Structure 1
Amino acid sequence: MTSASLLVYPSTPDVRGPISQPYFALPAVLAAAEPDPLKAALDAVWHALHTHGEHYPELLKEIWAVCSV
């Protein structure tokens, strides 16, 4: 059995002004390469939510739509 750890981030990043979404999304792509599939999925979603910023509810709706099939 493998051990698992839960990382909790205290808040969203403090980004002022416009961001480059492709560059801001890079951590989501890198997180998806984790060897543990569950950790990879959760980390990728976490970073993707930060990339969407205040529009994250739309992304969550899309994710739930895909997962509920």
Structure 2
Amino acid sequence: MALTHPARTPHVPGLISQPHFALPAVTAAADPSPLKAALDAVWHALQTYGEHYPELLAEIRCLCAEQPGS
């Protein structure tokens, strides 16, 4: 189980369990609106990454740049 410091969120002090903190990203991805699902999933994933969120954003940017038609 990985523990990390969350990004500066007022309601999550101290270390968190990343697998447990990531669960809202999974449920957010099931939203019927594709845009809302994507944005909510990324938001929850960023919260899960905590202080390492820039690494996740860089990976997302890289994956989006590789998409055909971009």
TM-score, structure 1 normalization: 0.78
Q: Determine which structure has greater relative contact order: mean sequence separation of CA pairs < 8 Å that are 6+ residues apart, divided by chain length.
A: 2
What is the aligned length?
59
> CA RMSD for the aligned pairs?
1.4
| Sequence identity percentage | 73
Which of 10, 14, 19 is equivalent to 2:11?
Answer: 14
Instruction: Pick from 45, 52, 58 the counterpart of residue 49 of structure 2.
Output: 52
Cα distance change, pair 59–13 in 1 and its aligned pair in 2 (3 A): farther
Matches within 5 A, 1:12-51: 12-51=9-48
The gaps in structure 2 that reach 5 residues or longer are 1-7
Structure 1 residues 14-23 or 56-65, which shifts more? Answer: 14-23
Q: Which runs of 4+ in 1 moved over 4 A?
A: none
User: How far apart in 1 are the matches of 2:10 and 2:59?
Assistant: 23
Gaps of 5+ in 1: 1-10
Instruction: Name the structure where strand makes up a greater proportion of residues.
Output: 2
Q: 1:13 to 1:25 in 2, by over 3 A?
A: farther
Cα deviation 1:5-24 (Å, max 9, x = unaligned):
xxxxxx73432222111110
